[in-house]
Amino acid sequence: MARVIGVDLGAHTVKVAVFKGSFGRYAVTDFLLRRVASPDSTGSGASLSQRLAVLAELLADARLEDLRSVAMAWPAERSSMRLVHLPFVDRNQVARTIPFEVETSVPFELEDMILDHRVVKTIDDGSQVLAVLVRREDLSGFLEQVGGADLSPRNLGIDGDLMSAYTQEGVQVVLDLGHERTVVSLAVDGQVLGVRGLDTGGRFLSERLAGAFGLEPDVAEGYKHALSLKSRQALDVTAEWEDETETSMPDDHLEHFIDQSHDTDAMARVLGEAAAELLSEIRASLIAFEDNIGVEIAEILICGGTAELDGLAELLARDLGLPVRAIAIDAAAERFADSGRFALAHALGMRAAGELRGRPLELRKGEFAYHGHMETLKTLLSYGAMGAALFVVAGLVIFFMDHAKYSEQVDSLSANIANVVNETFPDVERSRLDDPGMAVAIMQEKAMAVTERVALLGAAIRGQPPTLTLLKSLSEGMPPPSEATIDIKELTLSETAVNLKAETAGYEEAARIEASLQNVQRFKTANKGDEKKMGDKVQFSLSIPLGGSEAVAGEERG
C-alpha cells in the first residue's frame, strides 16, 4: 500500500504522521517522534540541517525511505498574510487582481516574493481573499536544503493555515504552543482567516526557571513539566486567590529529579510569571484579530507540547474568559503522553493524503512547483554538463577512430529495421524495405492508419469507458482503510468477470472485504476463495461474475 507522511520539523522534536492507503483513500497508521537536541545555555535552537538529519535517521529506522508524498510546513512568522476584500466574485479576476491589491499594502517589491491566495468567502459585494507572501530567497534556500537531503516535500503550506483541520462552525482560535514559538490561528466556520507567529513558547518558561534558580536546561525542562500552573503560587501571579483549597503539586510528583534545596513554591511563582507573559502576547493577538476581522471569538483550541503543561488550559480559560479545550488528534497517537504535539504533523499528513478539506495555501507553485524526481535529475544533469565539457575533445578523437565501426553498425541496424517492419506488416513486399528511409516511411504510414481508426473508435464511444466505470465501482465498494486494508497483487478485468488476488491483515478483514463488495448490486455475487496464511498476512482470491457487456452497457445507460 502507498504511504504518505506529514513532517513537523520542530525545534525540540521532529514529529511524523504516517498515512497508508490504496485506491486514493488513506488513513493514519502511525506517529513517530525523535528528540532533536537537548536545550543549551546559549539560547540557540537546532539548525535546519540538524533537524533534517534527525528526520532522515527517524525515517530510516522506521523503514520509510520509499514514500509516495511528503508534506511540510512553512512558519507563519516568516510570511506575511493579508485578508483582502475585492469587489467581484469571479475567481479568474481575483487571481489577476490580487497581486496588485497586495502590493499596495506591503513594504517590499512583489517580484521578490512568492504569492498564493485563497478565496475564503463570496458575498454580495465581492470576495474575501486570504493572501500569503514569502520571500523567494528564503523559500529557495529552504527547498534547496531539504532537496539536498533527499526529502523534498510535494506540499509546503503555512503551519497556522493547516490548523483548519481541527476547526468547525463558529469563530475559533487554535493555539499551537510549541517549544520555541506559538502559532495563533483564527478560523471562521472552518476556514483560517488570520495567522500570527509568536517567538515565545515552552522554552521561554524553562529558561525563566533555569535563570532564576541556576538550573541546567534539562533540569529546568523537567521542573516545568512537573510543576502545576494550578498551584496557589502560580495563580497568585495573575489573579487574587479566591479558593482556599491547596492545589500545589505533591512532592512525590517531583521526586525523580527534584533537588530538595529548591523552593518549589517559589519555582511555581516564577513559572506563573513566565506563563503570564506568554498569555499577554496571546491576548494581544486575539484582540487584534477581533478588531481587524470584525469577529468575536467563541472558543480556544490548544495543541503542541507546551499545551500539555498541567493547569495551562485552566489558566488560559480564566485569563481569556473563553472555553478552552485540547485538540483530539487520533487514537494512534494516544500512546504518547502528550499527543497534542502531533497536531501539525497530523494535519500535514492529511494534506499529503488529500484528506484535508478546502484548499490550503500552497508555496510549491510557479518556479517552486514540485516536479518529483526531476529535481534530482536536474542536479545530476548539472554535474553531467561539467563532465561533458572535460570529455568533449576526447570524444571527438574517439568518434573518428570508431567511424568505420559505427558505419558497420548502421548497416546492421538498417537490416534490423527492415526485419521489424517486415514482421509487423508481412503484407509489405520485402524489396521495398531495403532502403531504411523507405522502411521507416512505411511504418509511419501504417501507424497513421491505425491512429485514424482509433480516433474513429473513440468518437463512437460516449460517456466514461466501461473499464474506468468498473474500476470506480470496485474502489467505492471497498471498505474504508480503518476497517480493512487490502494490497492487490493481481487484477484482471473482463466483460464477464473481475478476478483479483490480494493480501490483507487477517481472515476477518478478508471476509469484511467480501461482504462490503456484496453490498454493491453489481458485485453481489462476489465470492472469496483460496485463503492462505502467509506470515502475518492472509492471501486470498476474489471472483466477481458480471453478466457480460450487455449488463455493463445497461448499467451505463441507467
Contact 114, 366 (CB under 8 A): yes
Half-sphere exposure of 197 (CA within 13 A, CB side): 18
**Residue appearing with cell numbers 486570504:** 130
Kindly indicate whether the domain formed by 169-327 is annotated with CATH number 3.30.465.10. Answer: no
d(C-alpha 32, C-alpha 34), whole Å: 7
pLDDT for residue 260: 46
pLDDT for residue 403: 58
What pLDDT, in 10s, does the model give residues 464-476?
567 778 888 888 8
What single DSSP character describes residue 357?
-
DSSP assignment of 79-128 equals SEEEEEEES---HHHHHHHHHHHHHTTSSS-GGGEEEEEEEEEEETTEEE
- pTM greater than the 0.75 cutoff: no
d(C-alpha 55, C-alpha 152), whole Å: 12
What pLDDT, in 10s, does the model give residues 171-192?
999 999 999 999 999 999 999 9
Distances (CA, A) of 417 to 330, 426, 431: 61, 13, 13
Could you tell me what percent of the chain has a pLDDT over 70?
78
What pLDDT, in 10s, does the model give residues 414-462?
677 777 777 777 777 766 766 777 777 777 777 666 666 655 555 544 5
- 90-94, 259-263, 264-268, 498-502: the lowest-pLDDT one: 259-263
**Residue appearing with cell numbers 575533445:** 393
What mean pLDDT value characterizes the chain? 81
Q: Band of the pLDDT at 242, cuts 50, 70, 90?
A: very low
pLDDT for residue 424: 73
pLDDT for residue 33: 92
What pLDDT, in 10s, does the model give residues 29-72?
899 999 987 655 444 578 899 999 999 999 999 988 778 889 99
Task: Show me where the domains of the chain are located.
Answer: 169-327, 402-460, 466-557
Pairing of strands 2-9, 69-74: parallel
Contact 215, 41 (CB under 8 A): no
pLDDT at 79 over 90: yes
d(C-alpha 130, C-alpha 297), whole Å: 19
Look at residues 368, 299, 371, 404 and name the one whose alpha carbon lies nearest to residue 142. Answer: 368
Half-sphere exposure of 317 (CA within 13 A, CB side): 14
Pairing of strands 69-74, 155-158: parallel
Question: What is the three-class DSSP state of 507?
Answer: helix
What single DSSP character describes residue 511?
H
Q: Would residue 304 be called left, alpha or beta, if left means φ above 0 and alpha means ψ between -120 and 50 degrees? A: left
pLDDT at 302 over 90: yes
pLDDT for residue 330: 78
pLDDT for residue 123: 81
Contact 202, 306 (CB under 8 A): yes
pLDDT for residue 470: 82
Distances (CA, A) of 177 to 14, 49, 188, 313: 15, 23, 20, 11
What pLDDT, in 10s, does the model give residues 117-157?
999 988 878 999 999 999 999 999 999 999 887 888 999 99
Strands (E), 350-486: none
pLDDT at 284 over 90: yes
pLDDT at 545 over 80: yes
- Would you state the CATH architecture of domain 466-557? 2-Layer Sandwich (3.30)
Half-sphere exposure of 181 (CA within 13 A, CB side): 17
Look at residues 234, 237, 239 and name the one whose alpha carbon lies nearest to residue 249. Answer: 234
Half-sphere exposure of 164 (CA within 13 A, CB side): 22
Q: Which cell numbers hold the place of 43?
A: 539560547
pLDDT for residue 254: 43
pLDDT for residue 397: 54
**Residue appearing with cell numbers 471562521:** 188
Half-sphere exposure of 153 (CA within 13 A, CB side): 30
pLDDT for residue 375: 44
What pLDDT, in 10s, does the model give residues 186-226?
999 999 999 999 999 999 999 999 999 888 888 888 888 88
pLDDT at 408 over 50: yes
| For range 330-341, the mean pLDDT | 76
Find the length of the chain: 558
pLDDT for residue 555: 46
